[in-house]
Amino acid sequence: MQILFTDTQPKNVRLNARIVNKGDSLADLDPALSEGSDIARFKGNPGQVFEGFVSVDGALSRVAIAGAGAADAADRRLNLERSGAGLTAKYLRSGETEMVLDLGFAGLNGDDAAAVLTGVFLRGWSLDQYRTKLAQEKKVSLQTVHVIGAPEGTQAAWEREAAIAKGVEFTKKLVTEPANIVYPESFVAMCEEAFAGTGAEITVLDEAQMTELGMGALLGVGQGSARESRLLAIRWNGGEKDEAPTVLVGKGVTFDTGGISIKPAPGMEDMKWDMGGAGAVAGGMLALVSRKAKANVIGVMGLVENMPDGNAIRPGDVLTTMSGQTVEVLNTDAEGRLVLCDALHWAQEQYKPARVIDFATLTGAMIVALGNEHGGVFANDDTLADQLLGAGKATNDKLWRMPIGPAYDKLIDSPIADMKNIGGRWGGSITAAQFLHRFIKPGTPWAHCDIAGMVWSDKPGHAHDKGATGYGARLIDRLVADNFES
């Protein structure tokens, strides 16, 4: 979707929209609209949209009024996004190709207006490319939003927001594309294309290089797949030369069948988005790079496909990780931690980071605990945990703190190796986090975000249609902006 700023009312655009707060007077409008909105019980609630038609100089004008809630609401920013998203949701496939959006109402400042535009823009993303028989009236029609009445500072604020939104869209695309399109090598290729010319440095390790480094756990997961595994690093040096980087690590299982411990057939298609952690890291990096963040940040993604075949790892196999620690694989479906442990170890060796944060659709148990409202954050450092929780609140990519500790750690001791890859029946998300913790060097602040419940949604939200939510890209951008930028 294209967002254009203009000073004069564009001619020949039928659809005209404005944003109002809860309870705002609409007395300046035609009575058919002001009284009509009353009759329709339009209150200006966040995301609520009223539509009316009026005749202007003999031509019919379609007028939309979107609610942004109370001006002093605690979640004002989110409500503003909802108002913009409400407009897009209503008109995206309406047949209208253009909309004029007047942001000169509701007492908006430049940041507020940019938040509205963020909602307008993000709610517009969809992947319709494979729906070749889609009826004409169901196709996306809305292409251009002409912004008038923009408060001072809107364009500058939107420039920054648009860079971040680009990252969110990239995350959505990576997550939405099926596993025959997004597999380790193509994931890398998509990133190479997205980051080309941005100044970000890309490093890719192939299987031979990972074998050389001894990444037996990551390679073990990939060895049942016809697709080759990859380790991808995207580096952005926007900070001071001597400043130790923030390292983000993503689980990129491009499809998770479970391997020999195969998953049941119903719902297995969901496991195309088991690369949502890597998708969040890639999108978060694109946001940072696009707005030229003043920080040193590196995104590391472990990319593998978990398949069962004659060469696949078996339950009972013992793998040697790059760290030298050994793992008894009791369940080949607990593969994410096997991918992450080598990626985490490599990232620490390679970059000597100031802090490490990983993102992973790691456990179904996380969804049992927190549903689809919060990701879980496990950390060995309270400051880093608080920074993540704060960024989550600010962006609505919400997180909730979960515990770790030695008593949980004991649950993954193995009689034949240094550890096993599953704990018992209880606390499955915590034992997974404990596993990862064993690969963090003492003294390195680390946080693990289990986002299994967050990357995909069966219903539309304020910044997405049903499907990929884009979770994590904005969280990462905000974490860096608020805490690690000079």
**Count of Cβ atoms closer than 10 Å to residue 24 Cβ:** 17
Catalytic residue at 337? yes
Which is catalytic among the residues 14, 263, 294, 401? 263
Three-class SS state of 356:
strand
Whether the CB-CB separation of 248 and 302 falls below 8 Å is answered with no
- Considering only 51, 112, 256, 358, the residue that binds Mn ion (CB under 5 A) is 256
Q: Return the beta strands (E) in 150-216 as ranges.
A: 201-205
Which is catalytic among the residues 227, 337, 420, 478? 337
464: left (phi over 0), alpha (psi -120 to 50) or beta: beta
Nearest distance from residue 341's CB to Mn ion, in Å? Answer: 14
Residue-by-residue DSSP string for 416-446: SSSEES---SS-HHHHHHHHHHTTSPTT--E
Contacting Zn ion within 234-253 (CB under 5 A): 253
Closer to Zn ion at the Cβ: 274 or 342? Answer: 274
- Considering only 96, 256, 305, 358, the residue that binds ligand BES (CB under 6 A) is 256
β-strand partners of 63: 16, 52
Contacting ligand BES within 451-480 (CB under 6 A): 452
Closer to Mn ion at the Cβ: 256 or 397? Answer: 256
- Rounded to an integer, what distance in angstroms lies between the CA atom of residue 448 and that of residue 380? 9
Catalytic residue at 459? no
Nearest distance from residue 470's CB to ligand BES, in Å? Answer: 16
- Considering only 177, 256, 358, 397, the residue that binds Zn ion (CB under 5 A) is 256
**Count of Cβ atoms closer than 10 Å to residue 121 Cβ:** 25
- Considering only 112, 333, 342, 465, the residue that binds ligand BES (CB under 6 A) is 333
Residue 336-375 contact track with ligand BES, rule CB under 6 A, x = bound = x------------------------x-xxx----------
Output b/e per residue, 30-61; b: 16+ Cβ within 10 A. Answer: beebbebbeeeebebbbbbbbbbebeeeeeeb
With contacts defined by CB under 6 A, name the span among 36-44, 63-71, 239-247, 334-342 that binds ligand BES: 334-342
Nearest distance from residue 287's CB to Zn ion, in Å? Answer: 25
Residue 262-301 contact track with Zn ion, rule CB under 5 A, x = bound = ------------x---------------------------
- Rounded to an integer, what distance in angstroms lies between the CA atom of residue 340 and that of residue 337? 5
With contacts defined by CB under 5 A, name the span among 21-29, 178-186, 328-336, 426-434 that binds Zn ion: 328-336
Question: Residue 326: which residues within 8 A CB-CB, separation 6 or more?
Answer: 318, 319, 320, 417, 418, 419
Task: Report which residue's Cβ sits closest to Zn ion.
Answer: 256
Residue 188 binds which entry of Mn ion, Zn ion, ligand BES, none, CB below 5-8 Å type-dependent: none
- Is 217 one of the binding residues for ligand BES (CB under 6 A)? no
- Site size toward ligand BES (CB under 6 A) is 14
β-strand partners of 51: 64
| Pairing state between β 144-148 and 2-5 | parallel
Closer to ligand BES at the Cβ: 169 or 450? Answer: 450
DSSP 150: P
Closer to ligand BES at the Cβ: 218 or 365? Answer: 365
Residue closest to 330 by CA, chosen among 215, 435, 255, 414: 414
- Considering only 98, 177, 328, 333, the residue that binds Mn ion (CB under 5 A) is 333
- Site size toward Zn ion (CB under 5 A) is 4
Residue closest to 479 by CA, chosen among 234, 282, 297, 349: 297
Nearest distance from residue 272's CB to Mn ion, in Å? Answer: 13
Contacting ligand BES within 385-444 (CB under 6 A): 422, 428
Three-class SS state of 367:
helix
- Is 51 one of the binding residues for Mn ion (CB under 5 A)? no
Q: Give catalytic residues, as residue numbers.
A: 263, 337
Site residues (vs ligand BES, CB under 6 A):
256, 274, 331, 333-336, 361, 363-365, 422, 428, 452
